[in-house]
Structure 1
Amino acid sequence: MDATTDPFTAAERAYLAGQGLGRLSTIGPDGGPQTRPVGFRLNDDGTIDVGGPDNANSRKYRNVRADPHVSFLVDDMAAPDDPDAVKPGWGRGVEIRGIAETVKGTMHIGQGYFSDDLIRIRPTRVISWHIDPDHPEQRSRAV
């Protein structure tokens, strides 16, 4: 992949690749936010695929079809004794804001449980914190 087109830094990509659960926020029919825990996959092209059981019949899927603006958050707490953590014992994570679309594909996780109806996120803004030793505080940028 061309580094100039990847929306993620090496540290963000490594962090996301090591996680299996995120939270997808969509805009509901009443204009308010709706947030759900979801399985996801980071793709080589910098997009993120979100899956779930019977995804096409879910509220999040219908929300994306009505309004594609989303926020996707992956975060956790570094163990207090983790010598590799930027800030041991502190929260860390990546927030991705972007435009989503519904696509057909295969998650390769939750096989036999997740449907082939995916939500694909194309990042427009990335915010990360406490995952990159070269940038230990919050880092935010349009992509």
Structure 2
Amino acid sequence: MSFTDEEAAYLRENPMGRLATVAPDGSPDVVPVAVEFDGAYLWVGGGSAVTRTRKFRNVAAGGEKVALVVDDTVSFAPFTARGIRIYGAAEQPFERVGMVGPGVYMRIAPTVSWSWNMAGEPVGETWYATRRAHHGRHGRPRRRERTDQSSTMPTTAPGSPPAWAARAPPGRHTPERPRVRL
């Protein structure tokens, strides 16, 4: 499997996440969900009424590409966050007994994932390094893993505009040039 032992344990110990799907008209939808990880697939679902939810309707209409985030905040002082973002392919529903009981569940096969701070360390001078993994069929590795060590949190002096404002092209909305709604 492409998830490390630490990532797999994290997914099993943190059963809440947010699932994003796309409607046929291109509208995004993101909802909190209970997530179950079986070592290869992620399962989302519940009772029989779950098939009438937007997330299941979006997948049934052909929107099989989904995104899932499972994360938590260990501490606010000092700030400590960790999590896993997963892109995957959702399959049509299965009847099974899952973590919330018997019902209908969609199975998500991960295709790529990014994890950060599985050790639960406080943030320091730089932002957390990200581990990226490509998953093949049934969670087996497809490509080599890559760890991004260059992730840094932009810092600015107190009272100065945020770093993103300096990168805004001329004429775009910035703190100095707010958007005006008519």
TM-score of Structure 1 vs Structure 2, range by shorter chain: 0.7 to 0.9
| Max Rg structure | 2
- 1:7–1:123: 8 Å Cα contact kept in structure 2? no
**Matched residue type, 2:107:** R
The structure, 1 or 2, with the larger RCO (C-alpha pairs under 8 Å, 6+ apart) is 1
Q: Does 1:116 align with 2:103?
A: yes
Number of residue pairs aligned between Structure 1 and Structure 2: 126
Match of 1:73, SS state, is strand
Map Cα deviations across residues 58-85 of structure 1 (whole Å, 9 max, x no partner): 110011122100001100111368xxxx
Name the CA distance, whole Å, in 2 between partners of 1:107 and 1:12: 24
- 2:46–2:98: 8 Å Cα contact kept in structure 1? no
* Misfit runs of 4+, over 4 Å: none
Name the CA distance, whole Å, in 2 between partners of 1:22 and 1:95: 10
- 1:102–1:117: 8 Å Cα contact kept in structure 2? no
Map Cα deviations across residues 83-132 of structure 1 (whole Å, 9 max, x no partner): xxxxx632210011011112323343223xxx621111001001000114
Aligned-residue CA RMSD (Å) = 1.9
Q: Does 1:79 align with 2:78?
A: no
- 1:49–1:107: 8 Å Cα contact kept in structure 2? no
1:35-114 pair list within 5 angstroms: 35-44=30-39, 46-53=40-47, 54-65=49-60, 66-79=62-75, 89-111=79-101
Structure 2: gaps spanning 5 or more residues:
121-127, 136-182
- 2:83–2:115: 8 Å Cα contact kept in structure 1? yes
Q: Name 1:130's counterpart in structure 2.
A: 117
Name the CA distance, whole Å, in 2 between partners of 1:93 and 1:74: 6
Identity of aligned residues (%): 33
TM-score (ref. length: structure 2): 0.63
Match of 1:16, SS state, is helix
Structure 1: gaps spanning 5 or more residues:
1-5, 82-87
Match of 1:30, SS state, is coil
TM-score (ref. length: structure 1): 0.79
Name the CA distance, whole Å, in 1 between partners of 2:26 and 2:67: 14
